[in-house]
Every structure is written in structure tokens, then in C-alpha cells.
């Protein structure tokens, strides 16, 4: 164990025609080997940008990155493209919502899984092909020997997802970044893929960053949870703590908008009113304040003027006192 990925005060901004978009604004977190960190948030919260930045997949022409990303002791924000190339698909791999972003239509599935193994491990064509077939077997593709010769379009959506996972894991990465990998799949296939990822994590021991807007998926997968809003982390903790006793009004809103699996009535969804803020001109103070109904409990103008930060010793970035957070959750949020 021990910290394997350490992100410190990360700022990522894009230059656009309309101005500077501050997509990630002061983010810090750590990840230990073999653990799964679930990052949850609405689109535009910065969760995908953070992970593309870790992989160095941002466009340097339009993007400015500040802060530190230490992966196994190596600083990535200043790494050369050639160094990042050596990491991608090797030490760090990624799976996406749409496998067709990762798989080319022009090559067989087997060849595409074999390629990173040749590139990073110096394997021969034959060794790499055998490894590809082995990986297809591991991800549960029947008749892997034959199916390796197929093209992606000959696979079903769920099978393509499995093939992409095989490609991501072929070099036994230390870190797997999964960005909404099951969002497009139906519920049954989704459950199968999540089970597969858990089994493979046991076998490969990779740390996983699992990005999703779905708290149900997070509950299934994550050891730790970080909730992001408008480019920053607003709550983090063990999955157990965050799901059982969340401390931030935004997380309360997320939980309340989740269907209750164990409720016969299927409690009505209560989406969080309002919409995520523009990152061209983020709100002052607490970025959630335009949508938050608890500002009067903090008092004064504090929520609109002072940005609450997520200190290492504090699980949520909100001006409410620890006692208020606990009481409000137990008495007003939970019973809903
Ligand atoms: Fe709401 Fe204020 Fe807490 Fe922000 S700091 S979440 S506005 S109570
Ligand atoms: Mg995304």
C-alpha cells in the first residue's frame, strides 16, 4: 500500500472564444495502490478533465495546467510527451463510456489488444497475440481464439466493453481510469461489467479511479468517494461514510435524486434545483451557493463571499459546523 497517486492543488483552464474556462480549480487528492476512488459529479464538474490531465491527454495549445500530479514518484504535469506515451496503456490505462473511442474499426480486436503489449513489453507478434487471446478469455469472451480475429463491429456493445477492458489491462497497469464505462449499457450488462472489473482488480491489483454521475454505481465499486462540483472537490471520505452520513448539501441533493432501491414506494426523485454554474464566471464564495437552501443557517453573507475549502482534516467544503451538518442530515435529509 502507500500513496501511489498524489494530486496537489491542480488547476486546469482552457482558453476559449468566450474567455478562460476554469475546469479544475484547486483540486487535491491521494490514491493508494489497489484501492478504488469513485469520483462523482454532474457533467462539467471537472471529473473527466482531471483524469485526462493525469494522462496528459489535454491539448497543450489551449490548456494551462498548474499544480502537481505525482504518479509513483514521477511528476506528470511537466513530463515530456514521450514519457507520457511510455506510461499510457502501460502503467496507466483508461476505459471510456464508448469503446469505439478506444477501438479502431479497421483492425481486429486481437491485434488491438496485442499492440500495447508489443509496444510496452517488447513482446513478439506471436507472444502478444497469445496474450490478447488470454486477455479476451479473462474478460469473459467465449471462444477467445476465434473472436480475437473479429473486428469491433462484430462484437455486441457489452462485448466491446469487455474487449476495451482487455486492452486496458493487457500490460497490467498500476492505475486504471474508468470514465463512465457502464453508462451506455443496459442494467444487466452493466452489472456484469462491474463484477468483471471487481474480479480483475483482485487479480491485477490495479488502483482504479471510477468516474460516474451514478451514486448507485459508486456504492457498488468504490472504497473511497470524492464528490466534485464546479471544478473542485466538495466532499470526500470512505464510501461508507460518504454514503451513510454525507456532510455537504450538494451530496445530500445527489443522494436524494437517487432512486431508493430498498423502498417499496420508490421515493420520488428530488433533483437539485438549478443548474451547474458556468466555469467562465464561477459564482463567488461557495460555488454551490446559488443552489443551496442552507445559507441562512451559516448566516451573514459568508456563503456568497468566502469559499469553503476541503482541508485534509475536513471531509466537506461547507461553512456549516460539523454539528449542523450532522443534525441537518439526520433530522431533515434522511427521513425524506
Ligand atoms: Fe451551502 Fe453555504 Fe455550505 Fe456552500 S457553504 S454548501 S452555500 S451552506
Ligand atoms: Mg465526462
pLDDT tens string 164-203: 999 999 999 999 999 988 887 888 888 888 999 999 898 8
Cα(181) to ligand 1 centroid in Å equals 31
Average pLDDT over all residues of the chain: 89
Average pLDDT over residues 101-125: 95
Quick: pLDDT tens for 195-234.
999 998 988 889 999 998 888 889 989 999 999 999 999 9
Expressed in angstroms and rounded, the spacing between residue 149 Cα and the centre of ligand 2 is 31
- Helix (H) or strand (E) segment spanning residue 128: helix 125-138
Check residue 119 and give its pLDDT.
95
Report the C-alpha gap between 165 and 99 in whole angstroms: 9
Predicted-assembly ipTM surpassing the 0.90 threshold: yes
Q: What is the pLDDT of residue 323?
A: 94
305-316 confidence digits (pLDDT tens) = 999 988 766 689
* Closest listed residue to residue 176, CA positions, set 2, 267, 54: 54
Ligand 1 within 6 A of CB of 249: yes
Looking at per-residue confidence, does 335 or 84 come out higher? Answer: 84
C-beta of residue 247 within 8 angstroms of C-beta of residue 286:
no
Please, are residues 185 and 157 in contact by the beta-carbon 8 Å criterion?
A: yes
Pocket of ligand 1, candidates 228, 292, 297: which has the most ligand atoms within 8 Å of its Cβ, to mutate? 292
Q: What is the Cα–Cα distance from 60 to 23, expressed in whole angstroms?
A: 14
| CA 293–ligand 1 middle distance (angstroms) | 8
Checking if the pLDDT of 153 tops 50, the result is: yes
In angstroms, rounded to a whole number, what is the distance separating the alpha carbons of residues 210 and 222?
Answer: 7
Amino acid at each position: 500500500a502507500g500513496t501511489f497517486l498524489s494530486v496537489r492543488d491542480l488547476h486546469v483552464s482552457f482558453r476559449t472564444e468566450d474567455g478562460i474556462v476554469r475546469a479544475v480549480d484547486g483540486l487535491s487528492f491521494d490514491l493508494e495502490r489497489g484501492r478504488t476512488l469513485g469520483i462523482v459529479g454532474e457533467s462539467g464538474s471537472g471529473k473527466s478533465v482531471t483524469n485526462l490531465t493525469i494522462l496528459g491527454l489535454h491539448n497543450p495549445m489551449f490548456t494551462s495546467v498548474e499544480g502537481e500530479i505525482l504518479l509513483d514518484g514521477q511528476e506528470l504535469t511537466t513530463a515530456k510527451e514521450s514519457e507520457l506515451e511510455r506510461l499510457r496503456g502501460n502503467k496507466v490505462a483508461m476505459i471510456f463510456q464508448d469503446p469505439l473511442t478506444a477501438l479502431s474499426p479497421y483492425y481486429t480486436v486481437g491485434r488491438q489488444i496485442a499492440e500495447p503489449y508489443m509496444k510496452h513489453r517488447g513482446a513478439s507478434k506471436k507472444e502478444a497475440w497469445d496474450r490478447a487471446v488470454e486477455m479476451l478469455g479473462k474478460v469473459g469472451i467465449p471462444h477467445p481464439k476465434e473472436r480475437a480475429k473479429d473486428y469491433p463491429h462484430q462484437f455486441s456493445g457489452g462485448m466491446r466493453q469487455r474487449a476495451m477492458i482487455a486492452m486496458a489491462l493487457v500490460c497490467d497497469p498500476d492505475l486504471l481510469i474508468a470514465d463512465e464505462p457502464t453508462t451506455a449499457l443496459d442494467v444487466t450488462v452493466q452489472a456484469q461489467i462491474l463484477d468483471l472489473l471487481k474480479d480483475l482488480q483482485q487479480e491485477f491489483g490495479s488502483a482504479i479511479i471510477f468516474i460516474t454521475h451514478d451514486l448507485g454505481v459508486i456504492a457498488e465499486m468504490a472504497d473511497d468517494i470524492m464528490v466534485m462540483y464546479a471544478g473542485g472537490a466538495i466532499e470526500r471520505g470512505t464510501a461508507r461514510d460518504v454514503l451513510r452520513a454525507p456532510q455537504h448539501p450538494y451530496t445530500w441533493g445527489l443522494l436524494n435524486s437517487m432512486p431508493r432501491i430498498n423502498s417499496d414506494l420508490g421515493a420520488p426523485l428530488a433533483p437539485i434545483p438549478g443548474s451547474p454554474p458556468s466555469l467562465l464566471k464561477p459564482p463567488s464564495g461557495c460555488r454551490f451557493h446559488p443552489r443551496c437552501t442552507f445559507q441562512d443557517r451559516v448566516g451573514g453573507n459568508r456563503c456568497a463571499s468566502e469559499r469553503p475549502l476541503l482541508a485534509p482534516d475536513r471531509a466537506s467544503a461547507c461553512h456549516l459546523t460539523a454539528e449542523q451538518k450532522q443534525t441537518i442530515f439526520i433530522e431533515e435529509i434522511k427521513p425524506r
